[in-house]
Amino acid sequence: MKSVIRLIGVLVVSAILLSTFSFAQKTKVIVGSAAMYPSKNIIENAVKSKVHTTLVTAVNTAGLADTLSTSGPFTVFAPTNQAFKKLPEGTVKLLLKPENKDALTKVVTYHVVPGKINSSEIISMIQKNGGSFKVNTMQNGQITFMLKGKNIFIIDEKGGISRITIADVMQSNGIIHVINTVLMPKS
C-alpha cells in the first residue's frame, strides 16, 4: 500500500513538473533567432535578438539600459534593424553621436509606455474608443493605435505608421511588441 501511495505521489509530481515545463516552453517566443524568456528583463532579452542590434545600441548610447532593467513595468514597441533602415540615410549615425544624446533619448523613450499593455488590451481599447485610442509615452508624447483586420497599427505624432509584427513578448519587467517602423515624436 505504501509503495502504491509513493508511486501515485511520484506520478503527481511528475505531471506537475511536466505541465510546468510545457507551459514554460509555450511562453517562450523566438525573436531575431533568439529565445525571449519571460523570466528575463527587457534588456536581458533584447541583447540576444539579432534583429534589434540597432535598438540595443540606441538604448545603451542614450543611457537607458539601466532604466529598462528595473522592475518597471514597461511596454516597449521595439523597432527592428530593418525599421531603422527606413529612416532617411544618415539619421541613425547622426542620432548616435554623443552631442545628439538628448534627441536620441527622446526617440528611444517615445517607444516606451509605462505599464504593461498586451495586444488584447490594445484591441479592446481600440474597439471601446471608436476605432482608435492614444497612450502617453515616457517621452511625454502620444502614440495612437488603430486596428485593420487583425493587425495593430501605431501612428506617431508625425503621421508615420508602424505595424506590430510580433505581439506580447513577455518580460519579467513588462512586455515587448516588435514593430516594423521607427516611431518619431513631434519634437
Q: Please tell me the predicted confidence (pLDDT) of residue 29.
A: 85
How sure is the predictor about 1, in pLDDT bands with cuts at 50, 70 and 90? low
Report the pLDDT value the prediction gives residue 2, as an integer from 0 to 100.
Answer: 54
pLDDT digits (tens, 9 = 90+) for 150-172: 999 999 999 999 999 999 999 99
In this prediction, residues 96-114 reach a mean pLDDT of 97
> What's the CATH code, domain 32-179?
2.30.180.10
Residue 30 to residues 103, 138, 146, 153, 170, Cα–Cα distance (Å): 31, 27, 25, 21, 11
pLDDT at 102 over 60: yes
Q: What is the pLDDT of residues 12-46, one digit of tens each?
A: 333 333 333 333 334 578 787 678 889 999 999 99
Average pLDDT of every residue of the chain: 87
Q: Give the Cα separation of 51 and 173 in Å (integer).
A: 21
Determine the Cα–Cα distance for residues 108 and 111; give it in Å rounded to an integer. 6
